[in-house]
Amino acid sequence: MRRKWRVVVCLTVIFILFVSYKILEPDIKGGTNHAELEYREVPVAREDNSRVNANEDHEGHQNVDDIVKELQEKYWINFNYPLKESPWQVAEKMVNLREVHPEQAPEIGSILRAMATRKIVSADTGYKGTQLKLSLILDGGQVVAFKPRWYRRDEIFTETPYSGADRHNGEIAAFHLNRIMDFRRTPLAVGRKINLKTEIIPNGSEQLLKTFFVNGSNTCFYGKCYYCKGEETGVCAEGDILEGTVILWLPKALPLKTYRHPWARTYITGKLAQWEKDPNYCTAVQVSHIYSEGPRLLDLIDTAIFDFLIGNADRHRYETLGNQMESVFLMLDNGKSFGNPFLDEISILAPLYQCCMVRYETYRRLLLLQNGVLSRVLRKVLKQDPLAPILAENHYAALDRRLGIMLEKIQTCMDKLPQNRALVKETVKS
């Protein structure tokens, strides 16, 4: 009997040593390195990977209400923050290859105020694109885009997940959501009401003024864009006052490089893109050095997470700041967002569930914002915009619901991949 117990004990010890070695094997062997980033496995929030519910300490440390208060204070906008130089100079200095603005940037408030109030000195048709917009120059020489209001806040689009014209309020909500998600890859955006008669017409280009017309007592224009075909495609002010969103132009010193999105839709009824037919499509994407090295693929997956939250299924191309491998994947043109709060378009998440990986920092952020934290923080921040309310109430519920869906998708990947390879932690090398 004693001999049997000794055998059992020895086998148990051997088994424990073997399992411990397998767990530590990546660290023992030194991991996998790339030229710019080191990717290695990381622990998850809890040993059992369980979700945190609102009745217990959030992430095992703080109460949900405390986290909401802390984040609301962090992302609250101070429109009167004192600046020592032009707001346009401050904004330009914020931008680098990896972010549009830093995490701690109280100056954003003063920049947004300038965007919403500075005198318009020049107006022209929008630069390229399929959607109607204006290109404005504000006092001090700053170029901004102006996207006009087309719809009520509670308008719902049910045809396709990319139906309708751009929602100007979606650009505002997307900018602040991007801050709260700690991505910081969306240009500054703020609401503004413009008097077409006194602010645009006296300063408009000949090309723009040719598209102006009157509909009843309302001043209208149709501008120049792919879908701008004449008066039937124009937008009208209420009288002379047109509501819209002002979006800050990025610095010319950092030119944009455009790429086709590998998960782009065909936009042809009945014709599927390759990624919609091949569940292993991510493997084909990773053949390209653009996505096999550096942060680009993880940036793309971050963007899929962001787009799923806002319901944006229209990301057919993307831009980076320059063409370096570490150049950040910018989250521009978010107007096709917040169209249907009752539809969760899962296909937007294809990069996440086909590649089955996500940044560890992004996953931790999602955990932090669950249980209603996200909607409560965003609702408070958006109340500050000059055009508030920015979103219909149903969209806040949709944000929290979609966040939960994403956590379930990530959990599925974590369950089927060994040693939590679904979570990627990156360390920038010096």
Q: Which sequence positions are flagged as catalytic?
A: 314
The span from the CA of 143 to the CA of 163, in Å, is 28
Binding residues for ATP: 131, 147, 247-250, 319, 333
DSSP conformation class of 204: B
Instruction: Name the residue among 314, 334, 337, 317 with its Cα closest to residue 402.
Output: 337
The span from the CA of 255 to the CA of 358, in Å, is 28
Instruction: Name the residue among 222, 248, 211 with its Cα closest to residue 112.
Output: 248
Assigned token pair, 354: 């086909």
Assigned token pair, 88: 């346009």
* Residue keyed to tokens 């130089």: 85
Residues 6+ apart with CB under 8 A from 276: 347, 350
CA 272, 278, 281 angle in degrees (round to 5)? 110
Q: Amino acid identity, residue 213? A: F
What does the DSSP assignment read for 271-332? ---HHHH-TTHHHHHTTSHHHHSTTHHHHHHHHHHHHHHHT-----EEEEESSSTT--EE--
Assigned token pair, 185: 């890859």
Instruction: Name the residue among 318, 289, 79 with its Cα closest to residue 190.
Output: 79
Binding residues: 131, 147, 166, 247-250, 319, 333
